[in-house]
């Protein structure tokens, strides 16, 4: 290589380095300072925390917008308002995009849509998870319908990827307007307190239209979306903690629907009974207990990652492992509303069951359900159709389904909770289980109304009839006698029994009747 050729080559590399450096600065140093002043990291800083060090491969770092209206031709930034690419997370490949609020407020332009769509297409064709970090004011107003088209293209890809690859959204700033539907379509939504907000219309519009005054945080903050709307499943105090949670969740999930979840070798003896398990359920059926204590004693190392813990807390969903194999766990929580099924719990449970089924994650269900919540609010709100979603999800699921009735399993709620009648593969009950149409007191008041009324001592008669009903019906043995329960087991044997059953079902293959898709009662 001659001296002149070397100089030409060096100058080209210098130009490339300069252009790349411009892109890395996003909206510039002052914009980065403002971002930090809001308590927020930049798009690239977030990816550095999320991915394994040195593994991020950026795409389209030199792309620029093409708009000329409103003076945009004089405001061109390399890479525009999103950083896209791929890298490793705990050694597993993932595709990522991170919206850059320092560039036009992270707004979605035509090229932002193109960049995001390209990395989404890569994730789908490569069958790897997609993680999106949201920090955007929505569609870029200056680009008009082109920006709306970009949002639509992203939403279309979210739907196409659903059930094929895990899609995770991390809300680390605003997500507003039509663009907010992208995280809503994805499988899991993480939010940071005081930083992330999700809403269709902001406080100013709400006030103008309805007269209601509400803050950004009250309207669409992390706690509002995690506890009231149920849109978000995870809440973190800061950005690092949030991204740590994302990494933990991905450790339970397969890369796509073509794979099984990742195994983690369990070196201890998996068959050791949990001797104190049964003592956690009170003898008095009206007394509550914490179902998470039972779950923690059953899963490997007590490691249970609860999902959507702040929403519909009367039902528990989350992930754990049994002898190294990932399972999705659904359970009643007697500590909240006695574990009753209501609209919110039904929807929460159904969505979780459908995700697990889509991604080959076996289901373990712990049942202690007194029924569906009565009342006009529930009936008018559609408990019939919403409760049917949970029925639909369990009946449609073809993954291994294991069920343990710990205490109450009454009426239609018994059927719903992964019963044998909805395709449960192995159904166990503890001796404390009560499987019946309803509780003894309510049943006696209906069935024996006349006998109680005509007796000399109605209270004594009712007490006697309740005791007789409990002995005859409020136990697991009638159901076991019919084969609806495969076995009544010592609670201490729950973990080893589930592990062996899960191993037996490892080769389970079940196909649904040929169809385009079912019509779940939405």
* Residue 331 and residue 366 in contact, taking contact as beta carbons nearer than 8 Å: yes
Instruction: Please tell me the distance from the alpha carbon of residue 318 to that of residue 306, in angstroms, as a whole number.
Output: 4
Q: Which of 60-74, 372-386, 412-426 has the lowest mean pLDDT?
A: 60-74
| Residue 5 confidence (pLDDT) | 61
pLDDT one-digit tens code per residue, 238-283: 999 999 999 999 999 999 999 999 999 887 877 777 888 989 999 8
Per-residue buried b or exposed e for 190-205, using 16+ beta carbons within 10 Å of the residue's own CB: bbbbebbbbbbebbee
Q: pLDDT category, 350, cuts 50, 70, 90?
A: very high
Instruction: Tell me how far apart the 2 most distant CA atoms of the chain are, in Å.
Output: 117
| Residue 381 confidence (pLDDT) | 97
Q: pLDDT category, 455, cuts 50, 70, 90?
A: confident
Residue 171 pairs with which residues in a beta bridge? Answer: 134, 191
- What is the rounded average pLDDT of the residues 451-471? 73
Instruction: Please tell me the distance from the alpha carbon of residue 36 to that of residue 42, in angstroms, as a whole number.
Output: 8
Instruction: Please tell me the distance from the alpha carbon of residue 368 to that of residue 35, in angstroms, as a whole number.
Output: 48
- What is the rounded average pLDDT of the residues 24-39? 90
Looking at the structure, tell me whether residues 368 and 499 fall in a common domain: yes
Q: pLDDT category, 6, cuts 50, 70, 90?
A: low
More confident position, 423 or 443 = 423
Instruction: Please tell me the distance from the alpha carbon of residue 27 to that of residue 311, in angstroms, as a whole number.
Output: 37
Looking at the structure, tell me whether residues 49 and 89 fall in a common domain: yes
The alpha carbon of residue 439 and the mean position of all alpha carbons in its chain are separated, in whole angstroms, by 33
Domain-embedded: residue 274 = no
Looking at the structure, tell me whether residues 357 and 344 fall in a common domain: yes
Instruction: Please tell me the distance from the alpha carbon of residue 464 to that of residue 446, in angstroms, as a whole number.
Output: 15
pLDDT one-digit tens code per residue, 407-435: 999 999 999 999 999 999 999 999 999 99
- What is the rounded average pLDDT of the residues 324-346? 97
Instruction: Give me the chain's average pLDDT, please.
Output: 92
Determine if the pTM surpasses 0.95. Answer: no
Instruction: Please tell me the distance from the alpha carbon of residue 117 to that of residue 150, in angstroms, as a whole number.
Output: 9
Which token pair is 380?
Answer: 């008018």
Looking at the structure, tell me whether residues 333 and 189 fall in a common domain: no
Q: pLDDT category, 65, cuts 50, 70, 90?
A: confident
Instruction: Please tell me the distance from the alpha carbon of residue 20 to that of residue 24, in angstroms, as a whole number.
Output: 6
**3-state class (DSSP) for residue 142:** helix
* Residue 386 and residue 377 in contact, taking contact as beta carbons nearer than 8 Å: no
Looking at the structure, tell me whether residues 192 and 215 fall in a common domain: yes
Q: Name the percent of the chain lying above pLDDT 70.
A: 97
Active site residues: 177-178, 412-413
- What is the rounded average pLDDT of the residues 497-518? 94
Q: pLDDT category, 189, cuts 50, 70, 90?
A: very high
Domain-embedded: residue 521 = no
pLDDT one-digit tens code per residue, 475-495: 899 999 999 999 999 999 999
Which token pair is 308?
Answer: 């959507």
Domain-embedded: residue 267 = no
The alpha carbon of residue 108 and the mean position of all alpha carbons in its chain are separated, in whole angstroms, by 25
Residue 468 has pLDDT above 80, yes or no: no
Domain-embedded: residue 511 = no
CATH number at residue 479: 3.90.226.10
| Residue 64 confidence (pLDDT) | 82
Looking at the structure, tell me whether residues 377 and 491 fall in a common domain: yes
Looking at the structure, tell me whether residues 73 and 37 fall in a common domain: yes
Residue 436 pairs with which residues in a beta bridge? Answer: 410
Looking at the structure, tell me whether residues 173 and 306 fall in a common domain: no
Answer with the one of 235, 250, 265 that is the final residue of a domain.
250
- What is the rounded average pLDDT of the residues 297-318? 97
Per-residue buried b or exposed e for 462-475, using 16+ beta carbons within 10 Å of the residue's own CB: beebbeebbeebbb
Residue 1 has pLDDT above 60, yes or no: no
Domain-embedded: residue 520 = no
| Residue 470 confidence (pLDDT) | 73
Q: pLDDT category, 77, cuts 50, 70, 90?
A: confident
Looking at the structure, tell me whether residues 67 and 147 fall in a common domain: yes
pLDDT one-digit tens code per residue, 92-144: 999 999 999 999 899 999 999 999 999 999 999 999 999 999 999 889 988 88
- What is the rounded average pLDDT of the residues 320-331? 97
Phi, psi of 254 (to 5 degrees): -75, 165
Going by C-alpha positions, the residue among 73, 89, 183, 205 that lies closest to residue 133 is 183
Domain-embedded: residue 516 = no
Cα–Cα–Cα angle for 186, 171, 232, rounded to 5 degrees? 55
- What is the rounded average pLDDT of the residues 214-243? 96
Q: pLDDT category, 375, cuts 50, 70, 90?
A: very high
Going by C-alpha positions, the residue among 407, 433, 435 that lies closest to residue 339 is 407
* Residue 331 and residue 297 in contact, taking contact as beta carbons nearer than 8 Å: no
Residue 10 has pLDDT above 90, yes or no: no
Looking at the structure, tell me whether residues 311 and 416 fall in a common domain: yes
Domain-embedded: residue 24 = yes
Residue 305 pairs with which residues in a beta bridge? Answer: 319
More confident position, 463 or 186 = 186
Looking at the structure, tell me whether residues 208 and 340 fall in a common domain: no
> What CA–CA distances, in Å, run from 107 to 80, 86, 167?
9, 21, 21
| Residue 458: domain span | 440-473
Phi, psi of 181 (to 5 degrees): -70, -20
Looking at the structure, tell me whether residues 323 and 223 fall in a common domain: no
| Residue 3 confidence (pLDDT) | 62
Domain-embedded: residue 259 = no
* Residue 429 and residue 435 in contact, taking contact as beta carbons nearer than 8 Å: yes
Structural domain tally of the chain?
A: 3
Per-residue buried b or exposed e for 339-348, using 16+ beta carbons within 10 Å of the residue's own CB: bbbbbbbbbb
């Amino acid at each position: 290589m001659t001296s002149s050729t070397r100089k030409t080559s060096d100058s080209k590399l210098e130009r490339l380095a300069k252009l790349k450096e411009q892109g890395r600065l996003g909206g510039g140093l002052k914009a980065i300072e403002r971002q930090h002043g809001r308590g927020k990291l930049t798009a690239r800083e977030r990816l550095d925390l999320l991915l394994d060090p040195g593994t991020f491969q950026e795409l389209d770092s030199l792309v620029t917008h093409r708009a000329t209206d409103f003076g945009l031709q004089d405001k061109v930034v390399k890479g525009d308002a999103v950083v896209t690419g791929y890298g490793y997370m705990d050694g597993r490949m993932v595709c990522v995009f991170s919206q850059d609020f320092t560039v036009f407020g992270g707004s979605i332009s035509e090229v932002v849509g193109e960049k995001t769509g390209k990395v989404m297409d890569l994730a789908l064709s490569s069958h790897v998870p997609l993680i999106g970090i949201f920090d955007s004011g929505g569609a870029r107003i200056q680009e008009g319908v082109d920006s709306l088209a970009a949002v639509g293209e992203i939403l279309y890809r979210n739907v196409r990827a659903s059930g094929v690859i895990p899609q995770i959204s991390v809300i680390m700033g605003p997500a507003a307007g039509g663009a907010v539907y992208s995280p809503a379509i994805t499988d899991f939504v993480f939010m940071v307190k005081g930083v992330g907000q999700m809403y269709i219309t902001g406080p100013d519009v709400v006030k103008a239209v309805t007269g209601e005054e509400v803050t950004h945080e009250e309207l669409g903050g992390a706690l509002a979306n995690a506890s009231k709307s149920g849109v978000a499943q995870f809440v973190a105090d800061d950005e690092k903690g949030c991204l740590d949670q994302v990494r933990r969740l991905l450790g339970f999930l397969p890369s796509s629907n073509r794979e099984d979840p990742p195994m983690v070798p369990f070196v201890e003896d998996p068959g050791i009974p949990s001797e104190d398990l049964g003592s956690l359920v009170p003898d008095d059926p009206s007394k509550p207990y914490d179902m998470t204590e039972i779950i923690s004693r059953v899963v490997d190392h007590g490691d249970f990652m609860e999902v959507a813990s702040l929403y519909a807390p009367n039902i528990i969903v989350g992930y754990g492992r049994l002898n190294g194999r990932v399972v999705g766990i659904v359970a009643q929580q007697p500590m909240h509303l006695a574990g009753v099924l209501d609209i919110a719990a039904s929807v929460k449970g159904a969505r979780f069951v459908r995700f697990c089924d889509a991604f080959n994650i076996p289901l373990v269900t712990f049942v202690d359900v007194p029924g569906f919540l009565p009342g006009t609010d529930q009936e008018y709100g559609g408990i019939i159709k919403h409760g049917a979603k949970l029925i639909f999800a369990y009946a449609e699921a073809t993954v291994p389904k294991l069920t343990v009735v710990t205490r109450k399993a009454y009426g239609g709620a018994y059927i719903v909770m992964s019963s044998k009648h909805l395709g449960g593969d192995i159904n166990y009950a503890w001796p404390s289980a009560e499987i019946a149409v309803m509780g003894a007191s309510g049943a006696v008041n209906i069935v024996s109304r006349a006998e109680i009324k005509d007796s000399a001592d109605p209270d004594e008669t009712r007490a006697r009839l309740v005791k007789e009903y409990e002995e005859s019906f409020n136990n697991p043995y009638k159901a076991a006698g019919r084969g609806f329960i495969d076995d009544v087991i010592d609670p201490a044997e729950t973990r080893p029994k589930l592990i062996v059953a899960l191993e037996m079902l490892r080769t389970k293959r079940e196909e649904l009747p040929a169809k385009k898709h079912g019509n779940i009662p939405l």
